[in-house]
Structure 1
Amino acid sequence: MVYRLPLTGIVSITHRMTGVVLAMGLIVYVASFFIILQGEEAFLSLQAFLDYTLVRIGIWFFIYALFFHLCHGIRHLIWDVGEGFEKDSMDRNAIIELSLSFVLTLIFY
């Protein structure tokens, strides 16, 4: 039988990856403020760039990463009080956190 990473392991690794994505995205976000400070022409160029389909998809994934990271952080806070360590509870909570982060992304995008 081939080893298969459990859902909780995949979610844990994804949480770390979204942390890196959020750190890089924050740098891009701050850089956009410096671009805006260059004047109206730079602002209009940035606005046109943000209107590209691939950029919009990237922004959508960034927002998903933000909400996923938030939901998983809340899950860690629940673990800190000693709750949610049962096997079925861990899998159920992983599915809830994936679903909730997707729904929140749809609402806020």
Structure 2
Amino acid sequence: MSQAKNLYRVTFRHQDQIWEVYARAISHGGLLGFIEVEKLVFGERSSIIADPGEEKLKSEFENVERTYIPVHAVVRIDEVSKMSTPRISAGGESGKVLPFPVFTPAGKS
């Protein structure tokens, strides 16, 4: 498990979008095929202008203590020294980020 002082930026695909969240702890978790993300961090509202992407993420994860993200949806995980604004961006099939292909042995589905 990660130490509380660490800060991670987790970028992952959600439907046809790329979501970026910040968390204090990540691990391979207890569920096979999932990354466990906990202690989500959101910026303090210090200005009148609110970022709609960040507000949507705050709303989505409002009462979530821990979330599990499928490994195949994770684009990257970075340990960072400071936080930027969490965001949601377009990431459809025409976007620059494509899902990692999942291969199955020949003849099996």
Using the size of structure 1 for normalisation, the TM-score is 0.23
Q: Which has the larger radius of gyration?
A: 1
- Which one has a larger percent helix, Structure 1 or Structure 2? 1
- Which one has a larger percent strand, Structure 1 or Structure 2? 2
